Structure 1
Amino acid sequence: MSARRPVRDRGQVAVEFVGMVPLILLLVAAVWECVLIGYAFSLAGNAADEAARVGAVHGDGACDAAARRHIAGAWHMSVRCGASGDVYKATVELNLPVFFPGLDIGTPITGEGGSPKEEED
């Protein structure tokens, strides 16, 4: 009588790996998008703070230029500057990026900053 060979699971690991690759890539893309959104909030807030500090001394034109100096050209952005009583306020809006700056869905991310008005010497 001949002995039967045991059933082997050859290739099982490869099949499982190929099945998991799309899920792993989807998870990496979701984490990347979350990081990019957080970075956009950080950029908008920092640019608004810097713009408000410069605008409090030099006025609206310098405020806009200061905000744009802190944001790369790939980001779609808008800047609003102006005095509100004794405080000079700046608002920077960046469009929510999808996977990289420049490709966005038009949803704004807003950063606001304020600084007390100062007189230039």
Structure 2
Amino acid sequence: MALEFVGMVPLILLLLAAVWECVLIGYAFSLAGNAADEGARAGAVHGDDGACQTAAAEHIGDAWGMKADCGPSGDVYKATVKLNIPVLYPGLDIGVPITGEAGAAMEKEAE
């Protein structure tokens, strides 16, 4: 029985690491989408890229390597947020980005 346990421990640990990696990737997609939504909304209300970038980065730590691209596109303010895919924990990444995109209708009054 001890021999089977010793043989299975590496497989169980590998499986746990794979499940944890899947959880982190899913969380990164969720963070990127939410940050893009927040940034697009702030950009649509305030009409500038600074507000969009600030709102997008508000709930994301530096370890995620976030990059936000914001700007108007016609009557819609669009935000694209890229986060690096983490390997076992945020901060250790392979350089492959996860992208979240969002848009919000411009809310400036016509003059």
Question: Shared fold by TM > 0.5?
Answer: yes
Q: Distance in 2 between matches of 1:34 and 1:28?
A: 10
Show the counterpart of 2:51: 62
Show the counterpart of 1:26: 14
Q: Distance in 2 between matches of 1:54 and 1:28?
A: 39
1:99 aligns to 2:88 (yes or no): yes
Q: Distance in 2 between matches of 1:73 and 1:94?
A: 10
Identity of aligned residues (%): 75
Alignment of 1:75-86 (within 5 A): 75-86=64-75
The Cα of 1:19 is off from its aligned counterpart by: 0.3
1:39 aligns to 2:27 (yes or no): yes
TM-score (norm 2): 0.95
Q: Distance in 2 between matches of 1:57 and 1:114?
A: 12
SS of alignment partner, residue 34 of structure 1:
helix
The Cα of 1:119 is off from its aligned counterpart by: 1.6
The Cα of 1:82 is off from its aligned counterpart by: 0.3
Q: 1:72 aligns with which of 45, 58, 61?
A: 61
What 5-or-longer segments of structure 2 have no aligned partner? none
How many residues align? The count is: 108
Amino acid in the other structure paired with 1:40: A
Higher helix share: 2
Q: Distance in 1 between matches of 2:95 and 2:61?
A: 17
The Cα of 1:22 is off from its aligned counterpart by: 0.2
Q: CA RMSD in A?
A: 0.9
The Cα of 1:87 is off from its aligned counterpart by: 0.3
Larger radius of gyration: 1
Q: Distance in 1 between matches of 2:62 and 2:99?
A: 17
After superposition, what is the alpha-carbon deviation per residue over 1:98-118, rounded to whole angstroms, capped at 9, x for unaligned?
000000000000000100001
What 5-or-longer segments of structure 1 have no aligned partner? 1-12
